[in-house]
Chain A
Amino acid sequence: MIDILIDVFSWVLLILGGVCVLIGGIGGLRLPNFYTRIHAASLTDTMGAILIFVGMMLQSGLTLATLKLFAIMLFLLLTGPTATYALANAALLSGLKPDTGSNHDEVEKEEPAE
């Protein structure tokens, strides 16, 4: 009985993680400017990674694979936000201004013919 419950719970976590990853990917493609795209990309790095790895940990039980999965998850959680912070910092220092309005600046620049 408890096995079935753990199974169902881990499948739910895995599917939710897949949905989070997909939402982050679509957001990274569709959002209007760079700083909003960072927001979408960091969703896949943290929420999607946590859900998928916890789901796989529940599937594998108490084995060496769980330890390795935990190490990978810990590493992703430490490095993902660090890399995102360094990226935003570098972009800000190089003079890429955050937009305060809903300004589709790049789109207008890319399509001057219309």
Chain B
Amino acid sequence: MYIVVSIAILATMVLALTRALMGPSVYDRVLAANVFGTKTVMLLSVTAFLYGRPDFLDLALAYALVNMVGILAVLEFFQKRSRRKAELEDD
């Protein structure tokens, strides 16, 4: 049964990657990367149960922390950039 769930998560990761490659705007790509990161955490947790190795849960926890900080840093960068561009157009 865990294998069904992991296949569903893997299919979603492929779909998110497709959106990240297609995505017309930067924000579509960031959204797809965010989905991909969250799905990685879930896939690691399911893998821990699939192979009966609970150590993988620590990896999932660490990956969740790293993913969150990465997404917020990228968003801060693009938000600052667009604000600076708007100020330049005003002047």
Residues of A within 8 A of B (CB): 11, 14-15, 17-19, 21-22, 24-26, 28-29, 34, 37-38, 41, 44-45, 48-49, 52-53, 56, 59-60, 64-65, 68-69, 71-72, 75-76, 79-80, 82-84, 86-87, 89-91, 93-96, 106, 109-110
Contact = CB atoms under 8 A, between A and B. Distances in A.
Interface of B: 1-2, 4-5, 7-9, 11-13, 15-16, 18-19, 24-25, 27-28, 30-32, 34-35, 38-39, 41-42, 45-46, 48-49, 54, 57-58, 60-61, 64-65, 67-68, 71-72, 75, 78-79, 82-83, 86
Given A18-B4, A37-B28, A69 B68 contact: no
Contacts, number: 140
Nearest to B18: A29
Majority secondary structure of chain B interface residues (helix, strand, loop or mixed): helix
Given A17-B5, A60-B49, A90-B75, A109 B24 contact: yes
7 contacts: A17-B5, A29-B16, A29-B19, A44-B38, A68-B58, A79-B68, A84-B34
Contacts of A59: 49
A68 B42 contact: no
A65 B19 CA distance: 33
B1 A11 contact: yes
A34 B82 CA distance: 17
Interface centre among A24, A44, A75, A91 (most CB of B within 10 A): A91
Closest 4 CB pairs of A and B: A25-B12, A94-B82, A18-B8, A25-B15
* A interface majority secondary structure: helix
A93 B79 contact: yes
